[in-house]
Amino acid sequence: MFRQEAEAFFGALRFFTRLPVPAWVGHSQEALDRAARYFPLVGILVGVLGGLTFSLTAYVLPVSIALLFSMAATLLVTGAFHEDGLADAVDGFGGGWTRPQVLAIMKDSRIGSYGALAVALMLLAKFNALLELPDEWIAASIVAAHAASRFCSTTLIYALDYVRDDDSSRAKPLATRMGAGSLAAAAFFGLLPLALLPWEAALAGLLLAALTTFLAARYFVRRIGGYTGDCLGAVQQGAELATYVGILAVAWNFS
How much of the chain is helix, strand and coil, in % rounded to 5?
Answer: 80, 0, 20
Listing DSSP states for 102-150 in one string gives: HHHHHH-SS--HHHHHHHHHHHHHHHHHHHTS-HHHHHHHHHHHHHHHH
Q: What is the pLDDT of residue 4?
A: 76
The average pLDDT across 159-165 equals 88
Measured CA to CA, the distance from residue 39 to residue 179 in angstroms comes to 14
Residues near 200 by Cβ (< 8 Å), separated by ≥ 6?
250, 254
Higher pLDDT, 70 or 29: 70
Side-chain-side CA neighbours of residue 176 (13 Å): 14
pLDDT score of 104 more than 60: yes
The pLDDT assigned to 190 comes to 97
Q: What pLDDT score was predicted for residue 110?
A: 87
* Per-residue pLDDT at 222: 96
Across 231-250, average pLDDT: 98
- Is the predicted pLDDT of residue 167 greater than 60, yes or no? no
| Cβ-based neighbours of 75, under 8 Å, separated by 6 or more | 83
**DSSP designation for 185:** H
For 31-40, 115-124, 194-203, which range has the lowest pLDDT when averaged over its residues? 31-40
pLDDT at 191: 97
**Could you read off the pLDDT of 206-222 as tens digits, one per residue?**
999 999 999 999 999 99
pLDDT above 70 as % of the chain: 90
CA–CA separation, 135 vs 137, rounded Å? 5
Identify which of 73, 55, 198 has the alpha carbon closest to the alpha carbon of residue 146. Answer: 73
Residues 6+ positions from 27 with CB-CB distance below 8 Å: 11
Query: What CA–CA distance (Å, rounded) separates 81 from 17?
Result: 8
* Average pLDDT over all residues of the chain: 91
Rounded to whole angstroms, the Cα distance separating 196 from 141 reads: 8
In terms of pLDDT, which residue wins out, 66 or 107? 66
pTM of the model: 0.93
Q: Are 228 and 164 in contact (CB under 8 A)?
A: yes
What is residue 178's three-state secondary structure? coil
Q: At what angle do helices 63-78 and 113-131 cross, to 10 degrees?
A: 130
- The set of residues, in sequence order, having a beta carbon less than 8 Å from that of 46 and lying 6+ positions away, is 17, 74, 77, 78, 146
